Amino acid sequence: MEKKHHFTSDEKLKWFGYGEWVEEPDEALFVHEGIRCHVIRVVKPEMNGSKFGGHFCGYLEIPEGHPWHGQPSSQISCDVHGGITWTDFNESKEFWIGFDCGHSNDLIPSMDYNRKTIPELIQIQKEFEERIKQFKNTPCSWLFESSYKNLNYVIEECKSVAVQAKAARDLSLQQ
């Protein structure tokens, strides 16, 4: 497995504040069950010079002849965090599928940092926290809890999708 850092710790501190993302690598490339996997940290420029993101996305190359090859995300039955949210061919005509860790219950480092450092957002966050107290210990309380999905988590999710892809391929070969 190849892991890479694309951003310095100082850059990540400046954009996202302190968290485990500061020291962990920003990319991982590996093969699992014969499927190429790529995990990458999302960092997009914002208009005010800051950065958006800090969360990870996971991608897997689906080989030609596989039943998932060329399919839209809605047609790929796969158990993965947030579901398959992206499919496309790259410049080399390889077909890739992907999932992201930027959902409502995912901690996105830049958004978390902004909620803690921008005065207007600090006030909104305080008001939000007061309002959600009424939902604590109810069946929907999990909606208000977020967690950071780190590199190791996303690597394991990619491995799980690779296992499911292999099973889907094997099943199609048996039919």
Query: Which residues in the chain come in under a pLDDT of 70?
Result: 47-49, 132, 135-144
Q: What is the pLDDT of residues 91-130, one digit of tens each?
A: 999 999 999 999 988 999 998 888 888 878 777 777 777 7
pLDDT score, position 1: 96
Check: CB of residue 65 under 8 Å from CB of residue 146: no
- Spatial separation of the C-alpha atoms in residues 54 and 127, rounded to whole Å: 25
How many distinct structural domains can be found in the chain?
1
Alpha helices, DSSP H only, in 47-145?
A: 109-117, 119-132
Instruction: Quote the domain boundaries for residue 168.
Output: 2-174
Helix (H) or strand (E) holding 157: helix 151-174
- How many Cβ atoms are within 10 Å of 143's Cβ, its own excluded? 12
Place of tokens 């957002």: 121
Check: CB of residue 28 under 8 Å from CB of residue 55: no
Q: Which residues pair with 45 in a beta bridge?
A: 51
| pTM for the structure as a whole | 0.87
